[in-house]
Structure 1
Amino acid sequence: MLFSARKSTIPKTAAVLAILAMALTGCGGGSPSASDGPVTLRFSWWGSDVRHKMTQHLIEAFEAENPNIKIEGEYGDWSGYWDKLATQVASQDAPDVIQMDAAYLGEYAGRGALLELKDVNLSKFEQAVADAGKVEGEQFAVTGGINAQVVLANPALVAASGVSIPDDSTWTWEDYNKTAAAITAASANGVYGTGAVTGDAATNLWLRQHGKKLFTDDGKLGFDENDLKGWYEYQADMRDSKAAPPASVTTEDATASVDQQGLSTNRYAMAWYWSNQLGALSKASGQTLEILRPPSTDGSAADAEQYYKSSMFWSASSRTKHPAEAQKFIDFLANNVEAGKIGLADRGIPGNSEVRAAIADKLSPADAATAKFIDEIADELGDAVPVPPAGSSAVVEVIGRYALEIHFDRMSPAEAAKKAMEEAKSALL
């Protein structure tokens, strides 16, 4: 699938973040001790109406257990959330507890806007999941839900082609290309073995399996031109084998809504998505899609450098007057079994392994399959992915754009890698 994630609103907030940089100079956190009397916390989040209602139930459950703490909700949709938050932080009026996204975590933590969460229990989180909320070694966020990059397969299209998919715990990138190409060749016109494999998560898996990564822990590029050339050579192989659709089809797919993309409309036998999208894609396609591991370089899932992606995080403002209570609320959201039964998989599969087990029989079939997969790959995980640095979204766009140039056959892998590296380096300056 061509990179087509949520459109970033970072450019919109640039001016406000400039103000934020000045406003936060010298700011510090409040006292870690609990207050003696009643406390009111403001809590902000984004999401659908369903999420708003569910979150209100979470608040009510917490308040029932903690009668001295009142939670005031502030919510909205994704498009306006970050501009509002940036303005609030810059004017020193941030909510006490904040639903946070990886794209913004490094920015806010780096500017001193977030509280270090020393009192949230992460003992039931896989280490990589716990570490995903760290910035420069300090815990500024706690995972609210986890996903993993997966290959989703349409069993009807695979069966119709007569091609067998290899064991997903042992297949390689070459196997993936050959399998998809064979499905394309054996299928009706307009049906392809796979959607394009050009997204940032796929790129990162490839790099990690080759000893590199998209970004380093200190916010630099974690790869060089030769690494990118190798990735683009794989794109050329998929183009030439016809495993993936023509670039013109890929371009259209990238701008289509999820329910109109190739996997949803039964035109792709396989495609790369995040695991939490299984339910929506199965519903749209009318198929019970199968969830598979991505391939590895050496045919070993244990060496595939798979990782959990935090679908979102919980953070607290560094200026909260009630840091103990804010962390108590975050601990409830992350670790309380009853909270897990309320939230289920709305924000992703719970990061706490005990909560995952407690809600397993309450999940929808698709979410249950996702949770099972998440547990199955727990011992196959590589290191946590570093929090993306400022400018990361521009780097991701550059890498995807030049991958498309390969699929259009307008550049060689070497030419595309050279150009992409030049732009990527500039994006992080």
Structure 2
Amino acid sequence: MRKRINKLLAVLLTGAMAMSMGACGNGGASTDNTQKKGSDDQVTIKITWWGGDARHEATQKVLDLYTESHPNVKFEAIPAGWDGYFEKLSTQAASGSMPDIVQMDYLYISTYAKNNSLADLSEYVDSGVIDTSTIDKNIMKTGDSNGKTVGIPLSTTALAVTYNPTVIEQAGAEVPSDDWTWDDYITLNEKVAKSTGKPSALAATAGIFGDVNIFNYWVRSQGESLFNEDGTALGYDDDKITSDFFDMWKKMADDNVAPDADEQTQIASLGKEGLPIVTDEAATDIEWNAFPTTVSSANPNLKLAVMPNAKDSGLWLKPGMFFSVSETSKVKEECAKFINWFVNSNEANEILLGERGTPVSSDVRDNLIERDKLSEQQKEAFEYTDKVSAVVGETPAADPSGIAEVNEAFASAGNSVLYGQLTSKEAAKQFREKANAILERNNAQ
């Protein structure tokens, strides 16, 4: 999962955009990129994204390929890791200096849209500059906010359990089945932890309380929604849902089956390719289904299993990420043309090979399969998407404004249980009170 961003994101000033628009071209990252009518006029597009080395390398190759066929377009690439990405972006948004194209996450797109940091791309979609005809309509809608198209989805993804068959076999345990339960999940990791002497049940780099995605799955599996329809409060009333989640992970941490809070801090410093599941020290890791592909250069043997209790419709197809264009960009049309090519070009996607998740374009997916361009990990990620499509529920709306603070409140409550500072019931009550106050403050009309 992911590192929480600080409160800068939540408190972006709605007036910042007006201030930045008034700045005449001296400070903004995009203000010197004046777009002209002539096809031969030089354009520089500043573009930023988060990811690991594999993503950085593949994306740079794609940028270079685009420049080869569009010699008037050059890129200023600003690759980054996840940690600190949104802290920096929120500062740039407040000062009007965001790059032209920004890789945007579903957790935060509504916050940036609400603060008028993202351009409305509807005109480019409507005119066909950005062709969305091969993108699932439900996925495409996830980039909408208040009637505007503020993000073009690049991929689809779903939560999955990545497992290490080598570690499981060495422990004498059985690999997961498609119909396994949380009890089965715990039993598997107990066997491996007993064999290795190390925590086995991981939850990505940021840990089980790194954000609310895995908890969202837990809530949905019980027929509830994490947030209410207008995003002004939590969407479920029973705090036992939360306390049961805290209790499960507290017991696993106490039994050395999952990392405790201090161990998780150490794991977080390792990065994805250094996670114990990748280095053959743990059995499972709850992540998005592109994870085995992302770390395949470090370990090509990882496999995917559906989430425990997946039959209960807790899963959803999530836009892996978006490309958005900053409202302050002076080259919006050139950005739109590039995003269209990035999403729909077979050439580009034969380089990217689903590194950001299963491509949103059905034509691109078909081409990659037909041309046998996929590794075993990539094929499995594509197949996983098809498999869970039969059991997924409706894709929820983008997380409401204030999600960064909600994530912080969730982490604080969950870690207080791990440290023994609060009971699970006390922590669940604390989370509800803090989350509802945050959501009301950020989303009430």
Q: Which TM class, normalised by the smaller chain length?
A: 0.7 to 0.9
| 1:366-393 deviation line (CA, Å, top 9, x unaligned) | 3332233233323433222322233212
Counterpart amino acid of residue 158 in structure 2? A
Deviation (angstroms), 1:49: 6.4
Secondary structure of 1:380's counterpart equals coil
Decide whether aligned partners of structure 1 residues 378 and 337 sit closer, same or farther in structure 2, where only a CA change above 3 A counts.
farther
- The 5-angstrom pairing of residues 164-179 of structure 1 reads 164-165=174-175, 167-168=177-178, 170-179=179-188
Counterpart amino acid of residue 46 in structure 1? W
What residue number does 1:30 align with?
Answer: none
Is the 2:10–2:404 Cα contact (8 Å) retained in structure 1? no
Deviation (angstroms), 1:23: 2.7
- The 5-angstrom pairing of residues 52-91 of structure 1 reads 52=56, 54-63=58-67, 65-66=69-70, 70-78=73-81, 82=86, 85=89, 89-90=93-94
Decide whether aligned partners of structure 1 residues 280 and 325 sit closer, same or farther in structure 2, where only a CA change above 3 A counts.
closer
What residue number does 2:318 align with?
Answer: 309
Equivalent residue for 2:146, pick from 100, 118, 136: 136
Q: Distance in 1 between matches of 2:305 and 2:263?
A: 25
Is the 2:254–2:260 Cα contact (8 Å) retained in structure 1? no
| 1:251-301 deviation line (CA, Å, top 9, x unaligned) | 3134321455442344432231222221465665x67222101022xx62x
Equivalent residue for 1:112, pick from 116, 123, 126: 116
- The 5-angstrom pairing of residues 142-291 of structure 1 reads 142-165=152-175, 167-168=177-178, 170-181=179-190, 183=191, 187-188=194-195, 190-191=197-198, 194-195=201-202, 198-199=208-209, 200-216=212-228, 218-224=230-236, 226=238, 228-237=239-248, 239-240=250-251, 245=256, 249=260, 251-256=262-267, 257=270, 258-279=272-293, 288-291=301-304
Secondary structure of 1:202's counterpart equals helix
Q: Distance in 2 between matches of 1:395 and 1:14?
A: 10
Deviation (angstroms), 1:82: 5.0
What residue number does 1:11 align with?
Answer: 7
Deviation (angstroms), 1:417: 1.0
What residue number does 2:438 align with?
Answer: 427
Q: Distance in 2 between matches of 1:15 and 1:233?
A: 32
| 1:183-227 deviation line (CA, Å, top 9, x unaligned) | 258x4261556336834222111111223333345333333451x
What residue number does 1:31 align with?
Answer: none
Decide whether aligned partners of structure 1 residues 87 and 422 sit closer, same or farther in structure 2, where only a CA change above 3 A counts.
closer
What residue number does 2:32 align with?
Answer: none
Is the 1:52–1:75 Cα contact (8 Å) retained in structure 2? no
Is the 1:349–1:356 Cα contact (8 Å) retained in structure 2? yes
Secondary structure of 1:188's counterpart equals helix
| 1:29-74 deviation line (CA, Å, top 9, x unaligned) | xxxxx9752353523113566655543443344355556x524324
* Greater share of helix: 1
Q: Distance in 1 between matches of 2:391 and 2:259?
A: 36
Counterpart amino acid of residue 416 in structure 1? A
Is the 2:46–2:99 Cα contact (8 Å) retained in structure 1? yes
TM value normalised by structure 1: 0.79
Deviation (angstroms), 1:156: 3.0
What residue number does 1:292 align with?
Answer: 305
What runs of 5+ residues in structure 1 fail to find an aligned partner? Answer: 27-33
Decide whether aligned partners of structure 1 residues 149 and 13 sit closer, same or farther in structure 2, where only a CA change above 3 A counts.
closer
Deviation (angstroms), 1:163: 3.7
- The 5-angstrom pairing of residues 21-40 of structure 1 reads 22-23=18-19, 36-38=37-39, 40=43
Decide whether aligned partners of structure 1 residues 214 and 71 sit closer, same or farther in structure 2, where only a CA change above 3 A counts.
farther
Asked if 1:121 is matched to 2:131, the reply is: yes
| Mean CA deviation greater in 360-369 or 325-334 | 360-369
Deviation (angstroms), 1:306: 1.6
Deviation (angstroms), 1:11: 3.3
Is the 2:16–2:94 Cα contact (8 Å) retained in structure 1? yes
Deviation (angstroms), 1:316: 1.9
Decide whether aligned partners of structure 1 residues 176 and 83 sit closer, same or farther in structure 2, where only a CA change above 3 A counts.
closer
Deviation (angstroms), 1:328: 2.2
Counterpart amino acid of residue 152 in structure 1? T
Q: Distance in 2 between matches of 1:246 and 1:57?
A: 41
| 1:385-406 deviation line (CA, Å, top 9, x unaligned) | 3222332122223323433444
Equivalent residue for 1:357, pick from 341, 349, 366: 366
Decide whether aligned partners of structure 1 residues 347 and 234 sit closer, same or farther in structure 2, where only a CA change above 3 A counts.
closer
Q: Distance in 2 between matches of 1:174 and 1:56?
A: 44
What residue number does 1:374 align with?
Answer: 385
Secondary structure of 1:152's counterpart equals strand
Equivalent residue for 1:396, pick from 400, 404, 407: 407
Q: Distance in 2 between matches of 1:66 and 1:20?
A: 34
Is the 2:7–2:404 Cα contact (8 Å) retained in structure 1? no
Deviation (angstroms), 1:161: 4.0
What runs of 5+ residues in structure 2 fail to find an aligned partner? Answer: 23-34
Q: Distance in 1 between matches of 2:385 and 2:102?
A: 25
Secondary structure of 2:76's counterpart equals strand
Is the 2:17–2:96 Cα contact (8 Å) retained in structure 1? no
Is the 1:306–1:381 Cα contact (8 Å) retained in structure 2? yes
Q: Distance in 2 between matches of 1:359 and 1:244?
A: 44
Q: Distance in 1 between matches of 2:115 and 2:273?
A: 38
Q: Distance in 1 between matches of 2:97 and 2:410?
A: 37
Secondary structure of 1:273's counterpart equals strand
TM value normalised by structure 2: 0.77
Deviation (angstroms), 1:422: 1.8
Deviation (angstroms), 1:151: 0.8
